[in-house]
Amino acid sequence: MRIYKTDQIRNITLIGNSGSGKTTLAEAMLFEGGVINRRGDIVHKNTVSDYQIIEQEYQNSVYSTLLYTEYNDKKINILDTPGMDDFCGGVVSSLEVTGLGIMLLSASNGIEAGTESAARHAEKKKTPLVFVVNQLDHENANFEQAVEQAKAYFGNKVTVVQYPVDAGPGFSSIVDVLKMKLYKYGPEGGKPEVLDIPASEKDKAEELHNQLIEMAAENEESLMELYFDQGSLSEDDMRKGMKIGMMQRDFFPVFCTCAKKNIGVNRLLEFICNIAPAPSEIAMRPIVNGKQVVMDEKQPVSLFVFKTSVESHVGEITYFKVMSGKLTEGKDLINSHNGNKERISQIFAVAGKNRASVTELYAGDLGCSVKLKETKFNQTLGEKELDIKFAPIVFPDPKYRVAVKALNESDDEKVGEIIHRIRFEDPTYLVEYSKELKQLIVEGMGEYHLNTLKWFFDHIHKIDIEYLAPKIPYRETITKFAQAMYRHKKQSGGAGQFGEVHMIIEPYVEGAAPKNVFFFDGKEQKISVRDVQENKMPWGGKLIFCNCIVGGSIDARFLPAILKGIMEKMEEGPLTGSYARDIIVYVYDGKMHPVDSNEISFKLAGRNAFSQAFKIAGPKILEPIYTMEVFTPSERMGDVMSDLQGRRALIMGMGSERGYEKITTRVPLKEMNKYSTSLSSLTGGRGRFTMKFAEYEKVPQDVQDELLAAYAAEQDDE
């Protein structure tokens, strides 16, 4: 293929609900540009995009796929993205490297849950959008309804550029109110017959044409003056105003297609070539450190890696955007994340599973290379003098978590390795082994997302795994002060072990000073605090250790051992084995032996004295509480509220936001298992939520009793 310069490149992302026809449209675009000579389809599993085995089985996109087509002396890089929010990682990463979003709407379904999700990601990135009402040959196609729904969600910035004359099974004709022509297509689409608008459509077309002129003029003062002077605008002036409006997200043009029959695709490609921004016309990706660069071929070379994958018989594939300069084969670049040198020995222009070797790529272009040594997703490559690092792509927080366990314990290590490898291709999976919970925890964007992970184990790696509900990271604390002593004594020939520790414990409250007077059974007990040591726990909260020893009853050299014993018990709380927190310990007395006392003796004495005191100090289990914002369609508000109340949620407030009811609530993590699935079911897939850790709170007594019983049974089993 030929080499394109920066001003000849257009980068677009296809977004929209699952089933709206993104992959089919991509296929038609490649066919129109001559990159492929026949159009595949999803049913026959022969599309250029969606070529992975799992995508062919699901008949849905799971990953974003890089493609390109050539049209009107332009190279259009296309990223075909998944429509399900569970796979939103592909949408987010694609929008980060393109300048225009093509939002597909189903002509029969209009705005759907996936449409809204993709729109939120595009809005966050400030990506201009073009709406394409697709599948206009469907028997239930309703173009006007789809446009009205788009206007209700996005406002009157949504403006018709094309409308269908005969939507439905016989769809073949489109009125273009920018060109003021009728495009009539044959049964197989392709090149249309360009005709004058028939008299029956003239008034409607004129009205929409005038609306389009007004929208274009509003975006530029000189165009507005020209419009007032002349009463109209030329096609070139309209394009200028439309482009300014699109770039400011003040104008969302609407086009018509039936991608399956290749109707309207060539006109859409022509519009993209004429109005979509060139890479140099959009803001440069933020630079974390290093020299500033601009998207110009004369600059030193820099690349940003936005996607990585692994394919059989090929190995690792690294997808990148050329951020500056002109990349040539054999170029040596420095990875700014690890300082290693990478040689770009091969460069490919990518059309799905097909890769065409090229000798160079200009700034703004998208491509890939293979078998780079140590360059991964979200990393930067650049010439040595740049020392540049671009800001990483940030993904939404996960919404669903499970514990993963191999059915055969000998596979445990393999399971961890495989999950990390899968995360290499889909960074929206988060994985960690929790030492506290003793579980391998995997988080994802939803239940379907996690089921996809299991699919790889079942069908590719042939390893049996199971998903378990993750344990909850409870905490233990106390609610009142208590006193205890413990004598550790052991004699077994030769030197023995002896240590005796007396202590008082009480709850720690931020900012409170240690006490020196306590009352036990009505009797006053005074202590003298000689030294205070504050220990911040890695899991949150504090342990305040007070040395109150007087008269040398315990030698100072044994105090660290006592603290160590207490810390061990803080790490495995006396109630349920959970971490303990927020306690003040006063060690005020004890005994030692001139021969038998040693560090282990006082560590055990301190540990056991602490455990005894803990159990009589009003022990309480704390649970993690999250602040949550839930967005639901108003007609589902009652169902969502009832479900939240059943989860021990405390409603903090309610409001409205962009046609959705917003519920602010605090809810225990214990009650949130599979909530994303429940909310989706209650709201027809339109509900969404965000969660953020707030604090630990005491569990209700019935919940505590349940947890204590479960822990006791677990200990008996062991």
| Residue 346 pLDDT | 95
Residue range 9-29: mean pLDDT, rounded: 97
Identical fold, 6-281 and 621-703: no
Residue range 418-437: mean pLDDT, rounded: 92
CATH domain 6-281 topology: Rossmann fold (3.40.50)
Cα–Cα distance measured from residue 666 to residue 644, given in angstroms and rounded to the nearest whole number: 10
CB atoms within 10 A of CB 485: 17
Cα–Cα distance measured from residue 56 to residue 247, given in angstroms and rounded to the nearest whole number: 36
Residue 717 CB-density burial (10 A; 0-12 exposed, 13-18 middle, 19+ buried): exposed
pLDDT exceeds cutoff 90 at 508: yes
Q: Where are the domains of the chain?
A: 6-281, 287-390, 404-468, 476-618, 621-703
Q: Under 8 Å CB-to-CB from 214, ≥6 apart: which residues?
A: 227
Q: Please tell me what DSSP assigns to residue 258.
A: B
Q: Under 8 Å CB-to-CB from 351, ≥6 apart: which residues?
A: 30, 35, 36, 48, 67, 68
Cα–Cα distance measured from residue 570 to residue 178, given in angstroms and rounded to the nearest whole number: 72
| Residue 315 pLDDT | 85
| Residue 511 pLDDT | 86
Q: Indicate the pLDDT class of residue 711, thresholds 50, 70 and 90.
A: confident
Residues of the chain with pLDDT > 90: what percent?
84
24's enclosing H/E stretch is helix 22-32
Give the residue ranges of DSSP H helices in 616-674.
637-645
Class of domain 287-390: mainly beta
Cα–Cα distance measured from residue 20 to residue 27, given in angstroms and rounded to the nearest whole number: 14
pLDDT exceeds cutoff 90 at 689: yes
Give the tens place of pLDDT for each residue, 178-205.
Answer: 999 999 999 888 899 999 999 999 999 9
Cα–Cα distance measured from residue 542 to residue 658, given in angstroms and rounded to the nearest whole number: 43
The Cα diameter of the chain in Å comes to: 114
Residue 701 CB-density burial (10 A; 0-12 exposed, 13-18 middle, 19+ buried): exposed
Q: Indicate the pLDDT class of residue 592, thresholds 50, 70 and 90.
A: very high
| Residue 107 pLDDT | 97
Residue range 563-571: mean pLDDT, rounded: 95
pLDDT exceeds cutoff 80 at 495: no
pLDDT exceeds cutoff 80 at 5: yes
DSSP code per residue over 333-373: EEETTT--EEEE--EEEEETTEEEEESEEETT-EEEEE--S
Cα–Cα distance measured from residue 114 to residue 340, given in angstroms and rounded to the nearest whole number: 40
pLDDT exceeds cutoff 70 at 138: yes
Encoding tokens for residue 494? 């030769």
Q: What is the CATH number of domain 476-618?
A: 3.30.230.10
Residue range 432-449: mean pLDDT, rounded: 93
In sign, the C-alpha dihedral spanning 298, 300, 305, 309 is positive
621-703 has CATH 3.30.70.240 classification:
yes
pLDDT exceeds cutoff 70 at 391: yes
| Residue 493 pLDDT | 65
As a three-state string, the secondary structure of 573-628 is: CCCCCCEECCEEEEEEEEECCCCCCCHHHHHHHHHHHHHHHHHCCCCEEEEEEEEE
Q: What is the mean pLDDT of the chain?
A: 94
pLDDT exceeds cutoff 80 at 492: no
Give the tens place of pLDDT for each residue, 272-331.
Answer: 999 999 999 999 999 998 889 999 999 999 999 999 998 877 889 999 999 999 999 999
Least confident of 99-108, 485-494, 510-519: 485-494
Cα–Cα distance measured from residue 134 to residue 174, given in angstroms and rounded to the nearest whole number: 12
Give the tens place of pLDDT for each residue, 315-348.
Answer: 899 999 999 999 999 999 999 999 999 999 999 9
Q: What is the CATH number of domain 404-468?
A: 3.30.70.870
Residue from 386, 329, 401, 390 nearest 359 by CA: 329
| Residue 356 pLDDT | 93
Q: Indicate the pLDDT class of residue 718, thresholds 50, 70 and 90.
A: low
| Residue 716 pLDDT | 73
705's enclosing H/E stretch is helix 701-717
Residue range 599-608: mean pLDDT, rounded: 96
| Residue 494 pLDDT | 67
pLDDT exceeds cutoff 80 at 3: yes
Q: Indicate the pLDDT class of residue 659, thresholds 50, 70 and 90.
A: confident
